[in-house]
Amino acid sequence: MSRLLIAAGNWKMHKTMEEASAYAEAFLPRMRMYRGLEIVVCPPFTALSVLQSAFRGTQVQLGAQNVHWEPQGAFTGEISVRMLQEFGCRYVIVGHSERRHIFRETSEEVGRKVKTLCVFGISPILCVGEKLEERDRGKTYEVVREQLQKGIAHLSPEEARNLVIAYEPVWAIGTGRAATPEDAEEVIRFIREELARAFNPHVAEYVRILYGGSVTPDNVFSFVVQKNIDGTLVGGASLDPSKFLSIVEETERAFIEKSKGA
């Protein structure tokens, strides 16, 4: 088992073009080549262009934070997959809990977005995760299973190989209260088992599954070193170039650690 790890930053609604440019100027000169991992930055749509230029020829790949499921049409305010392809986006986050809970996106809509992205050869980063009251009621696995099943409902096993999944418990997002690595590993192992049931064991071994929720330079290693956790989706800490660089370094350290055991 040697899945490439991912250190992904979700900037959410932060950073103007000018701020994104300053970030790239601070981040890129301090980078070296990292083994065994991909680095992904998902800025707001308005900063894609400036970062496409800045990241060209580097190890950093671009992602977006949302997409519409239709390739074009009368959908005021929406962005299409082909528009994102123009910026070289390789990843798109879909079904983030902020989209599900603030903007009332349904799992069915998320499933349509996932399908469109896979058809166009872009990797969806499909987010799933339970709310605190669902966890307290012992519903974690039920909620995650439903979000996952609806999210992948339209995919063939071949398309599913493009998938990246992020387990982000809602109560851990932006709270400073991360899940324990053991709890995250257990839910992520469950997600992998569900993928094996939905597709086949080969797809389940292939798909990268990330943890997200209050990831920091100090705790990232403890997550990524887990057998089934293939990286992290980082919000707050990814906004600071020094912290994100440390997260990348720690992810490489976890890769090296995991390679020893492989």
Q: Catalytic amino acids?
A: 96, 168
Applying the rule CB under 6 A, the residues between 105 and 164 that interact with ligand 13P are none
Q: How far is the CB of 147 from ligand 13P (least distance, A)?
A: 15
Q: Which is nearer to ligand 13P, 66 or 159 (CB)?
A: 66
10 versus 116: smaller Cβ distance to ligand 13P: 10
Does the footprint of ligand 13P cover residue 209 (CB under 6 A)?
no
Instruction: Check residue 178 and report its DSSP letter.
Output: P
- What burial letters (b/e) apply to 13-50, b meaning 16+ CB within 10 Å? ebbeeeebbebbeebeeeeeebeebbbbbbbbeebbeb
Residue of this chain nearest to ligand 13P (CB atom) = 235
Phi, then psi, of 176 in degrees rounded to 5: 75, 5
Structural tokens at position 45: 């749509």
Return the SS3 of 12.
coil
**Per CB under 6 A, does 10 bind ligand 13P?**
yes
Instruction: Report if residue 213 touches ligand 13P, rule: CB under 6 A.
Output: yes
Q: How far is the CB of 23 from ligand 13P (least distance, A)?
A: 16
Is 233 an interacting residue with respect to ligand 13P (CB under 6 A)?
Answer: yes
Of residues 23 through 82, those in contact with ligand 13P by CB under 6 A are none
Q: In angstroms, rounded to a whole number, what is the distance separating the alpha carbons of residues 229 and 211? A: 7
Contact string 187-206 vs ligand 13P (x = CB under 6 A): --------------------
Note whether 95 binds ligand 13P by CB under 6 A: no
**How many residues at the interface with ligand 13P, by CB under 6 A?**
14
Measured from the CB atom, the residue of 20 and 203 that comes closer to ligand 13P is: 20
Q: Is 240 exposed, middle or buried (0-12, 13-18, 19+ CB in 10 A)?
A: middle
CA 89 to centroid of chain Cα atoms: 13
Min dist CB 218 to ligand 13P, Å, is 13
Of 43, 63, 124, 235, the residue at the interface with ligand 13P (CB under 6 A) is: 235
Taking the complex as a whole, how short is the minimal distance between the CB of residue 235 and ligand 13P, in angstroms? 2
- State the DSSP code for 122: P
Number of neighbours of residue 222 by Cβ within 10 angstroms: 17
At a CB cut-off of 8 Å and minimum separation 6, what does 168 contact?
96, 97, 127, 128, 129, 211, 212, 213, 233
Residues near ligand 13P (CB under 6 A) are 10, 96, 168, 173-174, 212-215, 233-237
